[in-house]
Structure 1
Amino acid sequence: MPWGVILIAILLIVALLVIVRCIVIVPQSNSYVIESLGVYKETWDAGLHIKVPFIERIARRVSLKEEVADFPPQPVITRDNVTMMIDTVVFFQVFDAKAYAYGVTRPIAAIENLSATTLRDIIGSMSLDETLTSRDLINTKITATLDEATDRWGIKVNRIELKNIEPPQEIRTAMEKQMKADREKRASILLAEGEKQAAITRAEGEKESAILRAEAVKEQKIREAEGQAQALLLVQKAKADSIRLINEAAPSQNMLALRSMEAMERVADGKATKIIVPSNMQDMAATVSAIKAVAGDTSGAAAAGK
């Protein structure tokens, strides 16, 4: 094979390789910073691009995804001269690839130093108690400060979280004792509330029992009174019926006199020492005659029966 053909084949292969290398596909959520002869030219977004060989180059491949930077604990001093160790977690995202590529040499280190400085300024204006109870406020302040400062670097700080706040050992010991005392106090309060509720429940039960007993006694007395009243009504009704029957029978004077003498005889058989004679029995002779007449009638009736 002549050398000319081989040379042409080599040149074609080289040209093909150069063309292939000039075809660039930018992935999703990425941006490429392109320089032409060492000068920034443009930023390529996701898609297919072709660069000029030997003139243009990809200066920086930048991810547009949200990233997380976990920074080590930083010593900070509160307003009341208490040194604490606080470590932070920063959530950030690149929104301008050009500013990110040319704004700062080491963006992550810059964010770490800036967050530490901002954190010291914020904590230095707060007391220990405020620092321990104002985590959300600190997060909001430091996020706003860093987001404003990192705009010129093409970085947006979405949020910053204080992961751990560690006061000195002696303060932690005091806090643990205080927490233990608070737990014991809450337990005592709960126990007292339980005993109070139990006492109230017992008192209410005794009250209900007393009310039920009183109601039972009341009901018993009412029933007894109703029974006595019913019995009295029955007695009175019996007397009224007997009087009515006597009146309907129309008894003779002789019969009435006899019944009166029988009543007096029953009274005389008793132990009473005095006998009161009714005022309508003044004529004893007439009464005796009536008794004899009644007795004669009774004897005659008996003889007739024989």
Structure 2
Amino acid sequence: MDLTPFFFVGVVIVLAFILGGMSIRIIRPFEKGLVERLGRYQRTLGSGLNLIVPFFDTVQKVDMREIVLDVPPQLVITKDNVGVEVDCIIYCQVTDPVRSRYEISNYIMASTKLAQTNLRNVIGEMELDQSLSSRDLINSQLRDVLDTATDKWGVKVNRVEIQRIDPPVDITEAMSRQMKAEREKRAAILEAEGLKQAAITKAEGYRQSAILEAEGQAEAVRKRADAEKYRQIAVAEGEAQAIGNVFTAIHAGKPDNELITLKYLEMLPKLAEGSANKLFLPYEASGIISALAAMVEGIKTDKTAVPKA
């Protein structure tokens, strides 16, 4: 039996599998594939299963994820001639795989060197105090410069972060002493403000206490005056009522001159009380005295007219 046809069929199948394997390229989701045919850029492959021409096409994969570049520390001279050691981190990613492949040979190293150069330029235009307190400004300026420079490479700089800015040891010690003196100054100011506020509060308390005490005394005087006024009104009303009652009783009893004269005589001892050696009688008393004399004369007459036994 001739096995030659089977042999050729087997060879064809093997070659078909080999060619099929060489024609298939799998691109992961975070990658792009650059197809080069005989050394010339042909097209860009997306993620998934892709077919190429074996032996003629080659595929260069480009990672599209964001990467982190650590810029090595370097000595930078500030505007006021102070040497500081600075390093930073760059977050960047490829946006155009074609340009990142064909416009520059190594965009990672180029971005790092560019960051070092521009970091010296940015901080060199600032004084030490400004550079220590303006990290956000440095990050923003450096990001803008790097993003503009790397745009033609198909690379985008998303963020730049300054890790540390270390002044020399003597400058650090001087700054530490300055901060300590500033803290002590603030503490003294706060203590003085506290004492001042306490004195003000104490004085305000005394003032409020004096005001309340004065108001209390005024209220007490007002209450006493009101009570005395009420007492006098009540006494006057009582006396008026008593006089009215006496007046009514006198007029109701219809007294004669002898009764009035007798009551007047009863009042004379009370009128004579006191240390005065003179006694003034009203003009109306002359009529009462005349009535008294007539009364006495009548009594004498009655006694003379009585017959002896």
* TM-score bracket for this pair, using the shorter chain length: 0.7 to 0.9
C-alpha distance after superposition, 1:216-270 (max 9, x if no partner)? 1111111111111111112221222122223222152333332322221234465
The CA deviation at 1:150 is 1.0
Which residue is equivalent to 2:148?
148
Which residue is equivalent to 1:44?
45
Which residue is equivalent to 2:233?
233
SS of equivalent to 2:286:
coil
**TM-score, scaled relative to structure 1:** 0.86
Which residue is equivalent to 2:292?
287
Q: How does 1:87-102 map to 2 (within 5 A)?
A: 87-102=87-102
The CA deviation at 1:17 is 3.4
State the alpha-carbon separation in 1 of the partners of residues 224 and 296 from structure 2: 47
State the alpha-carbon separation in 2 of the partners of residues 128 and 159 from structure 1: 23
Cα pair distance change 1:289/1:235, threshold 3 Å: farther
Which residue is equivalent to 2:129?
129
State the alpha-carbon separation in 2 of the partners of residues 256 and 24 from structure 1: 152
Which residue is equivalent to 2:34?
33
Q: Of 242, 259, 264, which residue of structure 2 is paired with 1:260?
A: 264
State the alpha-carbon separation in 2 of the partners of residues 285 and 208 from structure 1: 74
Which residue is equivalent to 2:307?
none
Which residue is equivalent to 1:56?
57
The CA deviation at 1:96 is 0.9
Which residue is equivalent to 2:168?
168
State the alpha-carbon separation in 2 of the partners of residues 7 and 201 from structure 1: 111
Contact 2:261 2:291 in 1 (8 A): no
SS of equivalent to 1:92:
strand
Select between 169-178 and 3-12 the one with higher mean Cα deviation.
3-12
Select between 138-147 and 185-194 the one with higher mean Cα deviation.
185-194
State the alpha-carbon separation in 2 of the partners of residues 15 and 139 from structure 1: 56
The CA deviation at 1:292 is 10
State the alpha-carbon separation in 2 of the partners of residues 69 and 56 from structure 1: 32
SS of equivalent to 1:104:
coil
User: Quick one: which amino acid aligns to residue 131 of structure 2?
Assistant: T
Structure 1: unaligned runs, 5 residues or longer: 294-306
SS of equivalent to 1:150:
helix
State the alpha-carbon separation in 1 of the partners of residues 10 and 297 from structure 2: 180
SS of equivalent to 2:143:
helix
State the alpha-carbon separation in 2 of the partners of residues 105 and 289 from structure 1: 160
Structure 2: unaligned runs, 5 residues or longer: 299-309
State the alpha-carbon separation in 1 of the partners of residues 31 and 297 from structure 2: 149
Which residue is equivalent to 1:73?
73
SS of equivalent to 1:277:
coil
State the alpha-carbon separation in 1 of the partners of residues 168 and 154 from structure 2: 38
State the alpha-carbon separation in 2 of the partners of residues 170 and 135 from structure 1: 22
State the alpha-carbon separation in 2 of the partners of residues 258 and 165 from structure 1: 124
Contact 1:86 1:163 in 2 (8 A): yes
Select between 275-284 and 235-244 the one with higher mean Cα deviation.
275-284
State the alpha-carbon separation in 2 of the partners of residues 286 and 202 from structure 1: 82
Cα pair distance change 1:264/1:83, threshold 3 Å: same
State the alpha-carbon separation in 2 of the partners of residues 146 and 166 from structure 1: 23
Which residue is equivalent to 1:117?
117
Which residue is equivalent to 2:25?
24
Contact 1:257 1:290 in 2 (8 A): no
- Aligned-residue identity in percent: 38
User: Quick one: which amino acid aligns to residue 236 of structure 1?
Assistant: A
Cα pair distance change 1:17/1:262, threshold 3 Å: farther
Alpha carbon RMSD of aligned pairs, Å?
Answer: 2.4
Select between 62-71 and 251-260 the one with higher mean Cα deviation.
251-260
Q: How does 1:159-198 map to 2 (within 5 A)?
A: 159-198=159-198
State the alpha-carbon separation in 2 of the partners of residues 57 and 254 from structure 1: 162
The CA deviation at 1:79 is 2.0
Which residue is equivalent to 2:14?
13
State the alpha-carbon separation in 1 of the partners of residues 184 and 295 from structure 2: 107
C-alpha distance after superposition, 1:89-131 (max 9, x if no partner)? 1111101111111222222111111111111122222222222
Cα pair distance change 1:291/1:99, threshold 3 Å: farther
Aligned residues: 292
Residue 158 of structure 1 pairs with residue 152 of structure 2:
no
Contact 1:22 1:52 in 2 (8 A): yes
Which residue is equivalent to 1:223?
223
State the alpha-carbon separation in 2 of the partners of residues 16 and 266 from structure 1: 157
Cα pair distance change 1:3/1:175, threshold 3 Å: farther
